Amino acid sequence: MTTCLTVLGLESSCDDTAAAVVRVSDRAKILSSVVFGQNALHAEFGGVVPEIAARAHAEKLDICVENALLEAQCTLRDIDVIATTAGPGLIGGVLSGVMCAKGIAAGTGLPLIGVNHLAGHALTPRLTDGVAYPFLVLLVSGGHCQFLIVRGAKDFTRLGGTIDDAPGEAFDKVARLLGLPQPGGPAVEACAKSGDASRFRLPRPLMDRADCDMSFSGLKTAVLRARDSLIKEHGGLRKRDRADLCAGFQQAVTDVLRAKTDRALTIFRADTGASPTIAVSGGVAANMQIRSALQKVAANQSAAFLAPPLALCTDNAAMIAYVGAELFAAGHRDDLALSARPRWPLDQSSPAMLGSGKKGAKA
């Protein structure tokens, strides 16, 4: 990008209220990135409650923007563009962000851009490392799981994704089944450390199918069945049982992601003729077993592997500001008629995905 743009980004599509200021010229620089999480508000319900999330976003967005500007040592006069997540996600939350951004745009006359939340995750490797197009991304979190070829800020090809649960959602459900705390991912990973992954024969749904689609719902049900028969046999779960179930479950998820990543890399090479870079993004990318398995697959295919820092893998507004900068530079503009889109697939040509996860609508 030849011109220098300073973008204020807003994010409120799920359970994080976030604002950030990003300056983009040849490289991107995050001047501030503020995130207010809502875990405590939803903890007693075992999942995100959309109405509570929306109210909390509406309450916190103003202060979040103020803090982001303060941290960046900016005022609204230093901002060139306002970018806000306009979907996909929980409608109430997305609306809060869109309305806040519209208010700022109307008050200042600044240009407004509605950003696809998934594009934010997908372009994070450009924000953090300036990765050149095209590249491959695996988004793997509590609400998303898909492989994308990224060719531009509005040019995505979805190679496949989950047809039911996202892996993070499955980690959370398995933790709940085994009486472990939320969020389930880190708890299951810790418990799996002392477990024997081969004790239970757990399924690897769709693993051998020659595409990049995945399914994690049956795996979670298999853990439920194994748990119930252990309880029946021993009158409860022993420490060893819990560890073995966690290890078996984590191994099954790892095997599926490894096999599908291998396939996605092959498709990427055939499709683009480029030497692949694969970036993994989303909360599940924090899992060390999964991360190192993906790193190995990439190495076997002579592909570069990239995992952005965790704070930029999970929901944040810096990624939204960055996409806003790329879109603005490409001539894209929205106006005050911008609306919230609870469903908004990145690749409009690929078939719609099923289900709606605990963390909002999948796209």
Told to check if 141 binds ligand KG4 by CB under 6 A, we report: yes
Sole binder of ligand KG4 in the list 11, 241, 315, 326 (CB under 6 A): 315
Told to check if 315 binds Zn ion by CB under 5 A, we report: yes
For residues 71-90, which are near ligand KG4 according to CB under 6 A?
none
As given in the structure block, the two tokens for residue 270 are: 């055939």
Q: How far is the CB of 80 from Zn ion (least distance, A)?
A: 25
Instruction: Determine the interface stretch with Zn ion among 67-75, 185-193, 206-214, 308-316 (rule: CB under 5 A).
Output: 308-316
Instruction: Determine the interface stretch with Zn ion among 99-107, 158-166, 259-267, 307-315 (rule: CB under 5 A).
Output: 307-315
Beta bridge partners of 135: 150
Q: How many residues bind to Zn ion according to rule CB under 5 A?
A: 1
CA angle 62, 327, 68 (to 5 degrees): 25
Told to check if 124 binds ligand KG4 by CB under 6 A, we report: no
Output 165 or 315, the one with its CB closest to Zn ion.
315
Instruction: Determine the interface stretch with ligand KG4 among 21-29, 98-106, 136-144, 345-353 (rule: CB under 6 A).
Output: 136-144
Output 134 or 185, the one with its CB closest to ligand KG4.
185
Q: Among 181, 285, 164, 293, which Cα is nearest to 220's?
A: 164
| Distance of alpha carbon 28 from alpha carbon 322, whole angstroms | 8
For residues 14-73, which are near ligand KG4 according to CB under 6 A?
14
Q: Among 289, 300, 321, which Cα is nearest to 123's?
A: 321
- 92's contact among ligand KG4, Zn ion, none, with CB below 5 to 8 A by partner kind, is none
- 189's contact among Zn ion, ligand KG4, none, with CB below 5 to 8 A by partner kind, is ligand KG4
Q: Among 320, 361, 331, which Cα is nearest to 12's?
A: 320
Told to check if 165 binds Zn ion by CB under 5 A, we report: no
Told to check if 189 binds Zn ion by CB under 5 A, we report: no
Output 209 or 291, the one with its CB closest to Zn ion.
291
As given in the structure block, the two tokens for residue 250 are: 């984590």
| Cis, peptide link before residue 183, omega less than 30° from 0 | yes
For residue 160, is it left (φ>0), alpha (ψ between -120 and 50) or beta? left
Told to check if 283 binds ligand KG4 by CB under 6 A, we report: yes
Output 18 or 149, the one with its CB closest to ligand KG4.
18
For residues 161-200, which are near ligand KG4 according to CB under 6 A?
168-169, 171-172, 183-186, 189
Instruction: Determine the interface stretch with Zn ion among 23-31, 261-269, 311-319, 324-332 (rule: CB under 5 A).
Output: 311-319
| Distance of alpha carbon 154 from alpha carbon 329, whole angstroms | 12
Output 124 or 301, the one with its CB closest to Zn ion.
124
Output 186 or 218, the one with its CB closest to ligand KG4.
186
Instruction: Determine the interface stretch with ligand KG4 among 20-28, 272-280, 284-292, 327-335 (rule: CB under 6 A).
Output: 284-292
Pairing mode of beta strands 155-161, 145-152: antiparallel
For residue 133, is it left (φ>0), alpha (ψ between -120 and 50) or beta? beta
Q: How far is the CB of 311 from ligand KG4 (least distance, A)?
A: 10
| Distance of alpha carbon 223 from alpha carbon 247, whole angstroms | 11
Q: Is residue 241 exposed (0-12), middle (13-18) or buried (19+ Cβ within 10 Å)? A: buried
Q: Which residues of 317-335 are buried (b: 16+ CB within 10 A; e: fewer)?
A: bbbbbbbbbbbbeeebebe
User: In which order are the strands placed within the sheet that holds 145-152?
Assistant: 155-161, 145-152, 135-140, 277-281, 304-306
Sole binder of ligand KG4 in the list 116, 215, 261, 314 (CB under 6 A): 314
Task: Write out the residues near ligand KG4 by the rule CB under 6 A.
Answer: 14, 141-143, 168-169, 171-172, 183-186, 189, 282-284, 286-287, 314-315, 359
